[in-house]
Structure 1
Amino acid sequence: MAAASASSFTSLKSRPAPGLATIAAVKSGAPLSFSFRRPVPAVSRLRISCAAKPETVEKVAKIVKKQLALPTETPVTGDSKFAALGADSLDTVEIVMGLEEEFDISVEEDSAQSIATVQDAADLIEELVQKKCG
């Protein structure tokens, strides 16, 4: 370990904080320099979302079960991921088509690719139904 002398501590104490003008600099008429730093956001992305109605989630779960030919005892909830239920990309396309037919909506391709869970699908459906009605 390196030894620290008392003089090294006093030199640290006497230095002004970086970017701040000292009183002596202001009195002497020396030019002031300031440094501004952009604050780092605590959250890089803010997402506002409303959870879909339980009835919508249940309807989506029922359609997913039907499209994947899952046994009735297989639990499908909002947190269920299509991949975990055994769905491949073709199954997911068929699920989206079933949802479009059931809810009389049209899902854009980029939106369909972002659907990974039953809750994702239900949230998207509610959003599209609101846009259609509003």
Structure 2
Amino acid sequence: MPLLSLDHARTILDAALKAGMEHTFKPLAVVVLDARGALKAFAAQDGTSLKRGEIARGKADGALALGIGSRAVAKMAAERPTFVAAATHAVGGSLVPAPGGVLILDGGEVVGAVGVSGDLSDNDEICAVAGIEAAGLKAETGA
């Protein structure tokens, strides 16, 4: 089973932050988790608002918990709010149903997730995908 290496996690983190700067997005927080949900890398740019790291973590946790990118979780929340509320409770409250939580795939297997928060959710997702692709891995947004 492929594993998400620390080198991959650092590449994802750096490339996601770089994408945000290149697009002149608001300051971002980026979380990279392995397939178990263990924290592999985290950074918050200067000027991020309070709790952005926790929001980014919730996007990544939700993607891993449900096995779909958080864009799909957001759609699910609109269509089945009771289920998403229950799932949020089941994972200890760390599930944010908004784009920006992206599954990391290697050879078709989920090896982790990235969560980004700080700008519009669509922009957060752009940065997460850029980071994953920079590491030579595949992104699953839930689109």
Structure 1 and Structure 2 fold alike (TM over 0.5): no
Higher relative contact order (CA 8 A, sep 6+): 2
Larger Rg: 1
What TM-score, normalized to structure 2?
Answer: 0.28
| Structure with the bigger percentage of strand | 2
What TM-score, normalized to structure 1?
Answer: 0.30
